[in-house]
Structure 1
């Protein structure tokens, strides 16, 4: 075994490693660093004894202090619910008009409704309630069933075409592909588009208006502005739920799509539904 090598300049023993003639000195670590390292080991041991740390087959070690992050969260949630209980109780007993008339209660309802919306409604209507294809934008003033806070409450509480709820919103548009000729569907699609834009063939508008009067005006109105009592949308405002353009309109006339919205009252309870209604009403499109 080769003897130890001592650096001639510093007089310090080297490690034996050498790179391009440069040798690594074997200087010891500073004592403060060594003692700090030992302290961290002792701290880790004490921590694992005092707090939950080691995973077991179906649980973890509990720790001598009995501390639990889940218990802390449960206590915080219970405290928050207790603080909110007074407002929730008042909302439960108040009418929607009374909630809107009380600034403090209204603000609480909007905040609570915003939270409930993110958890239950944003998946379809979007985090900003702007909707998407087949899902209504709740920020505008275009309402199929009405935009008063009472109308909104009714829709949220009982849903749309929700099976098992006798008070759910229901509207069924016939599949006119089984009633009208293909040329008639093209004509009525051109007429509907002409109400807010320019159809591809202007010659189809006049016969399309007659097809509309004979088959569609009973629900959508003679002026095509809809009927909220029947859930018939306004076709003259350039706001489209199922798709925009003649092809989309023709497809909806031929084989209509009918959306479904859950009835939230059984799931969330009356106070939460009231808060949701007040929140949606506050978005800017309420009446």
Structure 2
């Protein structure tokens, strides 16, 4: 590219820029007036917008704008508006005995709808968005409940949590680490017997040896036939539902090192109405007793 003196194009009558590429000269065609004025107007509009509305970022906030507009404040106002509209039914839910809340009533419908939102925000991270649980986190859709699946029992579990150090009324039980009590071969035999209770394929000879060990060490909590004990959160061992897995290695690990799942006390974090709402929501999923 080479620079030349400006000249007037003979065809268009427009001056060139003085630039030329491979014999092609660039015309200095002026911008259309309508486009130019539109461009100037957008600059003026942008300056006016940045003065009137929040626009420029600062270290810890942003310029507020002379109109004081805030989408955050608008959302907060909407939330307060709906809280006021639902105040009566929310208060009724907060003071309700959940065992007496009838499905299909305004209180129940309000609780289930609100409880679904509470569940998604606070519970789905562990129990899954559909409440089907995961390894170490109970499935809330089945009938296997460690601490009881009646609606008032679910409420108590949500309110106080499980094995946490923040609520004196938390559900509490602790399985011993039998790795400190039994020998390795005794643990293997006990695991074989535990698996036999649910009809799993086992080593019959080892399972027979493990029966006495089970009766001496495990039956107090899990029952003689592995039926479990809801009152102390001892799982049923005679069904096909396993919280951590039902293969031999996992059962051996559970017996050796025990399990100690912890759930927060949501009564310390949620409102009274929210606790009851999520309890009713979980109960109506179908697994509650």
User: What is the distance in 2 between the residues matched to 1:54 and 1:164?
Assistant: 43
User: What is the distance in 2 between the residues matched to 1:12 and 1:118?
Assistant: 67
Residue aligning to 2:158 = 156
Which of 218, 221, 232 does residue 220 from structure 2 map onto?
218
User: What is the distance in 1 between the residues matched to 2:72 and 2:164?
Assistant: 37
Query: Residues 251-275 of structure 1, C-alpha deviation per residue, up to 9 Å, x if partnerless?
Result: 1111202111122213213221111
Residue aligning to 1:95 = 97
Cα offset, 1:180, TM superposition: 2.2
RMSD over equivalenced CA pairs, Å:
2.2
- 3-state secondary structure, aligned to 1:268: coil
Return the TM-score normalized by structure 2: 0.89
Cα offset, 1:187, TM superposition: 0.9
Residue aligning to 2:44 = 42
User: What is the distance in 2 between the residues matched to 1:244 and 1:219?
Assistant: 19
User: What is the distance in 1 between the residues matched to 2:157 and 2:63?
Assistant: 50
Return the TM-score normalized by structure 1: 0.90
Cα offset, 1:57, TM superposition: 5.6
- 3-state secondary structure, aligned to 1:229: helix
Query: Residues 5-34 of structure 1, C-alpha deviation per residue, up to 9 Å, x if partnerless?
Result: 333433332223333333322221122111
Cα offset, 1:80, TM superposition: 1.8
Residue aligning to 1:62 = 64
Checking the alignment, whether the CA contact within 8 Å between 1:125 and 1:132 is kept in structure 2 is: yes
Count of paired positions = 286
Matches within 5 A, 1:47-196: 47-56=49-58, 60-194=62-196, 195-196=198-199
Which of 181, 198, 206 does residue 201 from structure 2 map onto?
198
User: What is the distance in 2 between the residues matched to 1:56 and 1:243?
Assistant: 52
Cα offset, 1:181, TM superposition: 2.3
